[in-house]
Amino acid sequence: MARTPAEAARLALACLDLTTLGDADTEAEVQRLAGRAAAAPGRVAALCVWPRLAACALAHAPAGVAVAAVANFPDGGSDVEGAVRDTAQIAAAGAQEVDVVLPWRALAAGDEAAAASLLRAVRRECEGLVLKVILESGELGQPALIDRAARLAIAQGADFLKTSTGKTPIGATPEAARVMLAAIAADATAAMHVGFKASGGVRRMADAAVYLDLVEELLGRDALTPQRFRIGASALLDDIEAVLAGQAGRAGSGY
């Protein structure tokens, strides 16, 4: 797992889903996000936006950068029709990736069927696209519940397990990430292709490095690619750029 700060920063950059999900986001915010991606010291993995802004993101994304948009977000309710509408809008815009929120309240209440039904419908609607399932691990809280959510998402065709919407008090944590990664590793098929996305509060390279190490430990070094690992963030890019510019010692960098 030994890697230099610059090596870690380059890995994090390549696996970064540069994100804007403000309630009042407009095309101007998306264009600024795309501009940040274009000016970054390397290619990011994707831009992540609202469904209504997916077409704008596609129009302005740098070459080779995917577009992801969110469904059933951020509430994570059990409205299958609403989640499918979001997904259809994303697919129609031409985006390559869907980040859908698992109906985590239903799962916590013991209604696995409702959670599975929504994920199944979304998976059908976005066949051929990358599907990231947001477990909202900070709200599920208990490792046993996070494990159940992870296994359910894998069973319903998730390509990635994602920690959080970033809209709740507890976002990504190493403890939740370990449970999610262990669920992937325990499934012989998933261990070869399902990825992990850390999202919610990952702002410094010191934070990102924890997830790089966990992915390598539980899924192997080969999983440290954009096809298997993502970080959902926007502020993290500032720290990545500082590290790559040789400013890792600046106050607050933490790396």
> Could you tell me the CA-to-CA distances from 178 to 18, 152, 181, 218, 219 in Å, in that order?
23, 17, 5, 8, 11
Give yes or no for residue 105 having a pLDDT over 70. yes
**Is 213 tagged catalytic?**
no
Is 253 domain-assigned? no
Give yes or no for residue 253 having a pLDDT over 50. no
**Is 132 tagged catalytic?**
no
The 3-state DSSP composition of the chain as helix, strand, coil percent (nearest 5) reads: 50, 15, 35
Annotated active-site residue in 132, 147, 159, 162: 162
Strands (DSSP E) found in the chain: 16-19, 46-49, 66-71, 97-101, 130-134, 160-162, 195-199, 229-233
Is 251 domain-assigned? no
Residue-wise pLDDT for 71-103, tens only, equals 999 999 999 999 999 999 999 999 999 999 999
Tell the residue number behind the tokens 């264009």, with chain if given.
Answer: 31
Nearest to 254 by CA among 213, 210, 205, 211: 205
Structure tokens belonging to residue 225: 């690619």
Q: What is the CATH number of the domain that holds 206?
A: 3.20.20.70
CB 228 within 8 A of CB 236: no
Is 249 domain-assigned? no
Give yes or no for residue 130 having a pLDDT over 80. yes
Provide the pLDDT confidence category of residue 70 given band limits of 50, 70 and 90: very high
Is 212 domain-assigned? yes
Q: Which pLDDT belongs to residue 2?
A: 83
Is 53 domain-assigned? yes
Residue-wise pLDDT for 192-242, tens only, equals 999 999 999 999 999 999 999 999 999 999 999 999 999 999 999 999 999
Residue-wise pLDDT for 132-165, tens only, equals 999 999 999 999 999 999 999 999 999 999 999 9
Q: Which pLDDT belongs to residue 1?
A: 67
**Is 167 tagged catalytic?**
no
What's the CA gap between 218 and 11, in Å, rounded? 17
Question: For the chain, how many structural domains are there in total?
Answer: 1
Give yes or no for residue 166 having a pLDDT over 50. yes
What's the CA gap between 233 and 200, in Å, rounded? 7
Q: Which pLDDT belongs to residue 255?
A: 52
Is 254 domain-assigned? no
What's the CA gap between 233 and 221, in Å, rounded? 22
Give yes or no for residue 250 having a pLDDT over 50. no
Helix 112-125 vs helix 80-93: angle between axes, to the nearest 10 degrees?
A: 20
What's the CA gap between 227 and 45, in Å, rounded? 9
Structure tokens belonging to residue 56: 């704008």
Per the rule left: phi > 0, alpha: psi between -120 and 50, beta: everything else, 39 is alpha
Annotated active-site residue in 17, 86, 99, 147: 99
Give yes or no for residue 44 having a pLDDT over 80. yes
CA angle 178, 183, 186 (to 5 degrees): 120
Annotated active-site residue in 86, 147, 159, 197: 197
Range of the domain at 14: 5-244
Is 255 domain-assigned? no
